[in-house]
Amino acid sequence: MRTEREQTDHDARDGAHQPPEGVSEETVRALGALSKALETTERARGHLYGFHQLTGTADFELDDAVRLLREAGHDAYADRLQREIVGRNVIPGHWTFQIIESYDSTYYRPFAELEREVLENLAEGRDHLYEALLKERRRTHSHPDHTATPPDGGPERD
């Protein structure tokens, strides 16, 4: 059981996630929307990696199909699969890794870099201000499972 002082310290607002002086709630909401958009992009990027891995796995699995067709006496289909499908581009001139590279250089990295610049310039680089605002508004103060910070104070922040 925590002492009253420990409860008070542990229940105090999370200082690492407070907006800097002069940052409006409107700006915090805008930064939250920007963060959400980048998080969605992160998910899309993850789906590209899933597409990449599944396509690569399917290509290697074709080796078994080609071998089994040969063993079953269907050399013509085995040859055709080997020639036309194994190692084929998924879109003209591209394997899946090239799609990921293009996505990263054309869209993902510029978006992530600009999001970081906006956060640095408008909120001194403080992440998750909107989420922290929501947490503060939605938690039940003084409830042991609704504390503002983890028992150890959470990760060190600059």
Residues in the chain where the model's pLDDT stays below 70: 1-14, 153-158
Residue 96 domain-assigned?
Answer: yes
Number of domains in the chain: 1
Alpha helices in 12-157 (DSSP H): 25-71, 75-84, 96-103, 109-123, 129-138
Q: What is the pLDDT of residue 134?
A: 87
Residues 35-74: tens digit of each pLDDT: 999 999 999 999 999 999 999 999 999 999 999 999 999 9
Residue 125 domain-assigned?
Answer: yes
Q: What's the predicted TM-score (pTM) here? A: 0.77
Structural domain for 65, as ranges? 23-138
Residue 17 domain-assigned?
Answer: no
User: Which two three-digit tokens encode residue 44?
Assistant: 């899309």
